[in-house]
Amino acid sequence: MAEALGARAENAVPRAPVLRGHHDFPEISGRISAVVLQGRLPRFFWAAFFVCFVFVLLFLYSITYLISVGVGAYGINIPVAWGTMISSFVWWIGIGHAGTLISAVLLLLRQPWRASINRFAEAMTLFAVAMAGLYPILHLGRPWFFYWLLPLPNTHMHWPQWRSPLVWDFSAIATYATVSLLFWYMGLLPDLGVLRDRAMSRAGQLFYGILALGWRGSAFHWARYRTVYFLMAALATPLVVSVHSIVALDFTFAIAPGYYSTIFPPYFVAGALLSGFAMVLTIAIPLRWAFAVEDLITLRHMENAAKLMIAAGMIVVYGYASEAFFAWYSGQPYERAMMAQRAVGPYAPLFWVMLFCNCIVLQLLWLRRVRLNMPILFSIALIINIGMWLERYVIVVTGPSRGYLPSSWGEQSLTWLDYGILFGSLGTFFALVFLFIRILPAITIFEVEELVEEKGGGA
Amino acid sequence: MSLHGVIAAFADPEALTQAARAMRDKGYRRMDAFSPFEVRGLAQILGMPRTRMPWAVLAGGMAGGLLVYALILYSVEIDYPVNVGGRPLHSWPPFTVIAFEAAILGAALAGFVAMLWANGLPRYHHPVFNAKTFTYARGGKFYLLIEAADPKYRKGLTKGQLTRLGAETVEEVEA
């Protein structure tokens, strides 16, 4: 019965297949590893990498300036002591979450379409978390003391404040980064074995040989590997939810209008997924086109990511609505004034642009024609990336700018350093993605081969 | 020059599974199989007991969570108690947050290390790489290895049996 229903649903809407065309195993492993081993990448690849590298230099310069001059060099001031550093932090960590969702949740749900996009989604997670982790540390003011957040024996005889969300944040981000790295590396092991055996140069054999840890594809190894891989996915799923909930608690623990809201943890998680899937599409659409892997990363992947975007996006829209509703329903004059200040206050233009990006533009994804049109989908993904950054910025700055006392109201201004660090981190992120594509297989070889086998197209 | 065993290549996972089952029925116990991706159920046919990996992950998670919770408890109750208006020192709800993160971290680390440990990895070399017909990378082949240490192993006999099971190539592997 269920099967018959499934078959009918398939017939009603002819979906793009997960893999297109006929493949065999040597072709898959050869094609994917050739990108890495032959290293003949198109000229525009290096041109784009060069552009990113300029931004890496900007990032390094900005960080050096920030550390030598102090946090006063960027736009924060009293009363708005949290600025772009915190909003960019939340934005980056959110982007990371979609990668974990693709690699872990879709693995647990046994969705075959994850196979060709999980590797670079995990890499995206890793680099996004690396960027995110820098922000709160740079925001500390004296970044070289960041290790005071760790319970280390020291001459000060002090302990971290365990009841502080900042300390939770540190433990959550550190755990998330470590577990993401382990999960990613573990997924890479079998493919590193392929690269080791296919590498022609001595340097390549040594490099991939050491990283592959002697993997040889033994049936006993596979059985243990699969068990642990599934368990790690099962661990990563609640971890993602906890990480972004803790990030939301950074705000809700402050008893300030605009921060103090119980809807924040779930709505932050949904926002994370929305921006994360937007970033997956931002990377995947050029990637599949540039490397001509449109038969491995198919329209099905793109469409499913777009569907997940609209699912997460509608939860975000609901979050906005309930935030406004509860501000009104609470009857608290301060909460109501806060909401009104968002809509008509000094940050109102950002607020309306954010609503336009995240609520209005998002609705286009209901149309199948839009989901299957790559240039339009790419533009929507970019718009939502911008909208989600603005959302975090609006949340971060409007709260402190309009406190309880009108005498202590004030705004923050953005300096060149705000832009330098934001765009510098974007450039560094993409430079890392480029290096990853050059050095490691961006598509999981063994899982795509398994997919080919299940499809019955094997050699 | 000692002998590690004999390795046979098969064209697809089904042929490998059938061959493994047939060789097991003939009484062979010291076997291994190699494939570019996991062939479901093959490890059980080769006589692998139920894996204990989940226990390692559970133990790692418990250890991580409990140790960090104990550390927090030690710091607030014994090493540095701060009385803030008579509020309880052991205010457990915020402590569970960090303990939860530590539990996840411990479980993931334990799982990864246990997987490598049980698999005997990292390993510099393995005799199977001596076989000329063995290649993990090309992806299209599925291998069955019978170790020379198997009590049932007889040089010509074992090779013949593998050929009759449909092996494409059969090769002796030096240790």
Q: What does pLDDT average to over chain A?
A: 87
Q: Are B127 and B42 within one domain?
A: yes
Partners of B9 in the β-ladder: B143, B169
* pLDDT one-digit tens code per residue, B97-150: 999 999 999 999 999 999 999 988 888 888 888 888 888 776 678 888 888 887
Q: How many CB atoms lie within 10 A of CB B1?
A: 4
**Which residue in the set B39, B105, B140 is minimally distant from A175, CB to CB?**
B105
Interface test with B, best of A228, A240, A453 (most B CBs within 10 A): A228
What are A143's two structure tokens? 């970044």
What residues of B are in contact with residue A217 (Cβ under 8 Å)? Answer: 34-36, 136
Query: Rg of chain A over CA atoms, in angstroms?
Result: 23
**pLDDT above 70 covers what percent of chain B?**
98
Q: Are B132 and B103 within one domain?
A: no
* pTM, to two decimals: 0.90
- What's the residue count for chain B? 175
CA A200/CA A186 separation, integer angstroms? 24
Give me the interface pTM, i.e. the ipTM.
Answer: 0.91
* pLDDT one-digit tens code per residue, B20-50: 888 888 888 888 888 888 888 888 888 888 8
- For residue B25, give every residue at least 6 positions away whose Cβ sits within 8 Å of its Cβ, in sequence order, or none: none
Q: Within 13 A of A254's CA, how many CA atoms are on the CB side?
A: 15
Q: Are B77 and B101 within one domain?
A: yes
Residue of chain A with shortest Cα separation from B68: A151
CA B140/CA B137 separation, integer angstroms? 8
| Cα-Cα-Cα-Cα dihedral sign, residues A344, A345, A346, A351 | negative
Q: Please tell me the total count of domains within chain B.
A: 2
Domain extents for chain A? 16-141+177-455
DSSP state letter for A101: I
Question: What pLDDT sits at residue A22?
Answer: 64
Q: Are B39 and B80 within one domain?
A: no
Q: Are B74 and B22 within one domain?
A: no
Interface test with A, best of B14, B48, B87, B115 (most A CBs within 10 A): B115
Q: Given pLDDT bands bounded at 50, 70 and 90, which one contains residue A181? A: very high
Question: What pLDDT sits at residue A66?
Answer: 93
Q: Which of B119, B138, B166 finishes a domain?
A: B119
DSSP state letter for A359: I
Pairing of β B142-147 and β B31-34: antiparallel
What residues of B are in contact with residue A225 (Cβ under 8 Å)? Answer: 38, 115, 119
**pLDDT above 90 covers what percent of chain B?**
32
Residue with tokens 């290790």: A147
Partners of A255 in the β-ladder: none
| B128 interfaces chain A, CB cutoff of 8 Å | yes
What are B15-22's contacts with CB under 8 Å, separation 24+? B15/B142, B15/B165, B15/B166, B16/B42, B16/B142, B16/B143, B16/B144, B17/B41, B17/B42, B17/B45, B18/B165, B18/B166, B19/B144, B19/B162, B19/B165, B19/B166, B19/B167, B20/B45, B20/B46, B20/B144, B21/B45, B22/B161, B22/B165
The average pLDDT across A318-335 equals: 90
* Strand arrangement, sheet containing B31-34: B31-34, B142-147, B3-10, B169-174
Cis before A165? omega within 30: no
| B5 interfaces chain A, CB cutoff of 8 Å | no
Q: Are B58 and B112 within one domain?
A: yes
Q: Given pLDDT bands bounded at 50, 70 and 90, which one contains residue A376? A: very high
Residue of chain A with shortest Cα separation from B111: A228
Q: Are B99 and B57 within one domain?
A: yes
Name which of A175, A51, A24, A40 is nearest A433 in CA terms. Answer: A51
On the 0-12 / 13-18 / 19+ scale of CB atoms within 10 A, B155 is exposed
Question: What pLDDT sits at residue A2?
Answer: 44
User: What Cα–Cα distance (Å) separates residue A81 from each residue in A78, A86, A89, A248, A406?
Assistant: 5, 10, 15, 17, 17
What are A7's two structure tokens? 């078959």
The one-letter amino acid code at B167 reads A
What are B96's two structure tokens? 């569970």
Q: Given pLDDT bands bounded at 50, 70 and 90, which one contains residue A177? A: very high
Residue of chain A with shortest Cα separation from B145: A218
Residue B139 lies in domain: 3-50+123-174
Q: Are B62 and B148 within one domain?
A: no
What residues of B are in contact with residue A238 (Cβ under 8 Å)? Answer: 104
User: Which range, of A207-211, A389-393, A455-459, averages the lowest pLDDT?
Assistant: A455-459
Residue of chain B with shortest Cα separation from A446: B37
| Cα-Cα-Cα-Cα dihedral sign, residues A36, A98, B60, B71 | positive
